Amino acid sequence: MTETLRNYIDGAWQPARGAALLDVENPSTGETIAQVPLSERKHLDQAVDAARRAFASWAAEPVARRCEPLRRLAALMREDMEATSRVLTREMGKSLPDSRAEMKRAIENVDIACTAPLVQQGEKLVGASHGIDGEVLRVPVGVFGVIAPFNFPAMVPFWFVPYAVATGNTIMVKPSERVPSTMAHLASLMDRCGFPAGVVNVVHGDRAVAEALSEHDGVDGLSFVGTTRVCRIIAERCARTRKRCQVMGGAKNHLVALPDANMDQVIRNMVTSCYGCAGQRCMAASAIVCVGEATHEEVVSRFVQASREVRVADPLDPAVADEPMVMGPVISAQARRFIVETIEKGCAEGARLALDGRDVRVPGREGGHFLGPTVFTDVRPGSLLHATEIFGPVVVILRAASLDEAIGIINDHPYGNGASLYTQDGYAARRFKLEARAGMIGINVGIPAPVASLPFGGMKDSVWSDIKAQGRAAFRFYTDEKVVTERYWAS
């Protein structure tokens, strides 16, 4: 029997009465694995009301006590990692090793959030003036919302949830309706950890709930990860309703190879960077820039061959489940159509299709949304293929005559999420990390992945807010600075 998911509001599982239901499918098979309610405004209002009621008492709890249920949650998540990873893989399609890695990163954020007794401390200036001291207090803000994407249904919500509650706020999460079961599973773990009712809430739904959350007068801040087109809309709505926001958008991440790079390591690294999660990562590389003609010839030859060897399969097939590099499906038939249409447009604009993954088939999984690795060469900077965030296993390879030209290609692109350089030259590496306009820089690292103790976020059209996710940045986002100036006269 197909499970019908429920909302988690005010510490209880509640059916979204009257809401339409949407089928959730396994993208590897096309089969329906759950039904998710498309909640209405009244359901969101219930969650906001619960969060607002819970806020005052939760904010008044000593910070160490607020961390106690988080510590229990981290332990439960470690204990339950394999089960959660399988739920994630089943509904999202990434490999089991990728799902396990995602869970580890989610847990790391819980661990970092538990440092709140240290990181949330304020500042004191003794002697701001004669007999006057100044103090900065970091205090909780109120009620926050999260609108999460489909590609990291565990990690991305945990860029936000543990920091919000550790700092004394209450929160609600709207998971992607494409992958709601992972967050429902994690909410079942949170339900066992002793959070007071209303501190953490999960409301399922589609665009209507997201829009209502971004406009709701009872919500003080919002975190969103998605397309840049929607980022603009969310950021504008948050500004109109005086919400603080973290709004993170699209990407076209570049890998730059210099002639002195260790090519054996480079090709292996490029393959995992480009095709992990079928290219559906905000930090996946999708553009390779080769500096020099000899570098270009070697990278094209070796990368195309290595791409042919990537195994495309149902990641839950026992024959491949634990292999480190298995590429599963893209998330939906709609996503697959968009990728195929973009490949066709790339051919029409004159790029050379060096490897075509459109006809890949996985025996026994004819209902799945599979594409094979696809590689274009002779791609012009700024062309449709280069400009578009395809969000699939499609890689474009460009030429550059020098490091200056390669950096220029990156800096002229509207997106600036991540960029990496392969080289053994320290001088070139230093120039790259200072001059390339991207928020996440890698040196001999294909994916400059988010590290929980450090901030995460891009530049340019990849981000529509000032404060990034994770690390100390998260503590700034979820607290207000209250400045106290005080003086006492002698009795």
Q: Which residues of 142-157 are buried (b: 16+ CB within 10 A; e: fewer)?
A: bbbbbbbbbbbbbbbb
Pick the catalytic residue from 231, 274, 277, 282. 282
Please report the DSSP string for 64-103 in residue order: HHHHHHHHHHHHHHHHTHHHHHHHHHHHH---HHHHHHHH
Start-end of H helices in 241-361: 263-275, 293-308, 333-348
> Contact, 316 vs 96, CB < 8 A?
yes
Angle at 153 between CA 151 and CA 157, to 5 degrees: 120
274 is catalytic: no
434 DSSP 8-state letter? H
For the chain, the C-alpha Rg in angstroms (whole number) is 24
Residue 24 contacts by C-beta under 8 Å, 6 or more apart in sequence?
5, 32, 33, 34, 35, 36, 91, 177, 178, 179, 180, 181
Nearest to residue 459, comparing CAs of 235, 274, 252, 152? Answer: 252
> Which residues are designated catalytic?
282
